Structure 1
C-alpha cells in the first residue's frame, strides 16, 4: 500500500507515512465505509419501493371503496328521489281544476267551463236555472243562482252559476207581457197582487200564446195579434198542452186559482 500524499511504500500496520508523516487510512476502514454506503443505498431503494407499493395499495383500496360503496349509493339515492319527485309531479298534474270558479251569464246565453281533465262529468244542481252539457256548456234558463258540479274520479269541484235576465229583453218583455217571465220563473202572490181578473186571464193565455196558439175569443185574439212577439199558428182545438214546460204548467194553474176567487 502506498501513501496517498507522497507515494512512499507503507508497511502494513503503519499509522503514519515514514517519509512525509501523513496519516494512513486503513484499507479495512475504507471497505467498511463502502460497504455501509452500499447497504444504506440498498435500504433507501427498498424503502422507496415499499412506499410506492403502499401508496398503490392504499390508492387502489380507496378507489375500490369509492366505486363500490360511495359511488353506488349516490345514484340509488338520486333515483329514489327522482321517483318521489315524479310521483309528486303526477299528483299535481292529476288534480282537478275548473275555470272559472264562478260563472255569470244571461238567460239564453251559453258559456263553456274549462277543465284540465278529460274524463269528467258535469251536473247542474238546478236545471230550471241553468243546464250543462257533457262537454261543459252551461246555458242560462232563468234568472237565479245554482251550482255545476264537475266530477273526476273521487275529486269534485263546484262552480257557482249566476243567471241574470237580459236587461234589454226584460224591458221589452215588461212592455209586451202581463207576466214577462211566466215561462221561466214560478209566479208568486206578489206577482199577481193588484192585477184585475181580465189581466189575470190575459196573463194566463200569454203562456199558450207564446207557443203559437190561436184563440176563439175574438177580443183575446185581437189583443195578441197586436203583439210583435206573437205568431198564431195552432188552432185552439188542435193545441197540445204537452208543449208547455213544468214552470208554465204550474203558473197556468196558479193564475187560474186566483181568477176563480
Structure 2
C-alpha cells in the first residue's frame, strides 16, 4: 500500500506512515464497512460491487456491462477477441445534381484551369457510379461474404471458420465435461420463449453450485455463444464454442452467498443421455472415487447397501468377486466391466479418496455390528 501524502510504501497493518506520520486512510466498502483493497471491484465480505472494473489486458477503465475494451479491443477477461473486428467501408453515393458555382468571365481569368477542375469532378462521379453499380447487383462482388466481411480483409485462419453456418438448435440438450480427477460438470442448453438458456451444475456433497443465464450473443457463422448474469446471488459468464457437433465451454462463476468461485477454461463436453443418467443411478455413491464421504452420508444405509457401497469402489476398477451374490449384482450394472481376478487386485490400484471412503464404511459397519 502507498501513502497518498509522501508516496512511501506502508505495511498492511500500519496506522500511520513511518516516513511522514500521515494517518493511513484505508478504503472501505460503502455497503458493509469492511476494509477492501484499492483495486478491489467486488467486496470480499458482502459481494457488492464497489470499484471501477479495468481491462486486464491494457488497464483502461471499463464502462458498465462492457464485454470488450473500447481502447484495445480485448475481451474483458484479458484475451484477444475471437471474432475479427472488421469495418466494411461503405460506398460513397453521389447526389443527383451538384450546384456548380457560377463564374463571371473576365478578361484576365484562366478558363483552362476551371475546365480542368470541372472535367476531373465529372470523371470522378462516373467512376463512383460505375463502382456502386457493380457492388449493388451482387453478381460481380464475389469477395464480399454473406455476413458483410471482405474476404481480402480476413486472415487465413479467420477464413477457415468465418462462415461455418452452424445451427445452434442442434446443440440443445444436456452435456457433461469431466475434470482430470474424473469429476463431472453438467451443462444444459435449452430454448424458452424464443430465448436460449445455459445452466451449469457443479454440485458436490458439500456444496450445491448452480447458475443459469440467457445466451444473448449467438453467432452461428463463427460458432460462438456467450451469456452473462450478475445479480444479488450469483455471477456467471459463459463462453461456448460449437462446431461440427463438438461443444466447448469456458465459465467464470461466483456464488456470492458462499463466497465460492469456479473458473473453467475450454472444457470439452459430450452429450449426457438418458442411458448415462440410468448408469449413474446404479451407484450407491457415484462419486466415491474422488469425493470424500462423511459419516452423515452413510448413516441410515442398510447392511446390504453398505456392503454394496464398499465394494462398488473395487468394482469400478473391474475387480471380480468370490461372493456370488456380489458378482451377480455388479454383472447387472451397465457400467461394470469385470477384468481383474480377486487375487490379482492390488491395494495400490485405489486412490487416497477411495481408501478413505472404504475405511469410513468399514468403521461404520463395525460400529453398527455388521462386521
The TM-score normalised by the length of structure 2 is 0.29
- Structure showing greater Rg: 1
- Larger helix proportion of the pair: 1
The TM-score normalised by the length of structure 1 is 0.40
